[in-house]
Amino acid sequence: MSQGNSDVSVEVTPDGIVAHACPVVEVLDRVAGKWSILVLVAAAHGPIRFTELERAVEGISRRMLTLTLRTLERDGLLTRTVHATVPPKVEYAHTPMARELHASLLQLTDWAHRHRTVIQAARAAYDGRTSP
């Protein structure tokens, strides 16, 4: 059987352990993060300011929001626009790639919302069976 290029790079650590760095896994880890999903969903309706995102994403700290926005901008999912006003006005907006991703994120968040009680019941049943 021939092996094709699967776009998986191999890295050998100093202690001789082989690590596979798969770009697909890296992207999914980044995009599927709790805060990334919530920020992308909150930013879906057009340009949004930092404070609006902070209010829209319940439970996120200012620092985590800042880090998440930087990561999403670095990955090409958000654009950051600074308007030359006093005080400066900064807005975040989806890129075309993020708009494409948005439908999938909505399906995921809708699924989680619809099944949250079933999942909680399953956890309680599991915990009841495994508790000493």
Let me know if residue 17 belongs to a domain. no
Query: What burial class does residue 47 get, using C-beta atoms within 10 Å of its C-beta: 0-12 exposed, 13-18 middle, 19+ buried?
Result: middle
Let me know if residue 15 belongs to a domain. no
CATH number at residue 62: 1.10.10.10
pTM beyond 0.85? no
> In this predicted model, which residue has the larger pLDDT, 46 or 2?
46
**Structural domain that includes position 103:** 23-130
Let me know if residue 33 belongs to a domain. yes
Residues with Cβ within 8 Å of 37's Cβ and at least 6 positions away in sequence, in order, are: 31, 105, 108, 109
Overall number of domains in the chain: 1
Report the alpha-carbon distance of residue 115 to residue 130 in Å, rounded: 22
pLDDT digits (tens, 9 = 90+) for 50-109: 999 999 999 999 999 999 999 999 999 999 999 999 988 999 999 999 999 988 888 888
Let me know if residue 3 belongs to a domain. no
Report the alpha-carbon distance of residue 47 to residue 43 in Å, rounded: 7
Let me know if residue 96 belongs to a domain. yes
Lowest mean pLDDT among 22-26, 29-33, 43-47, 90-94: 22-26
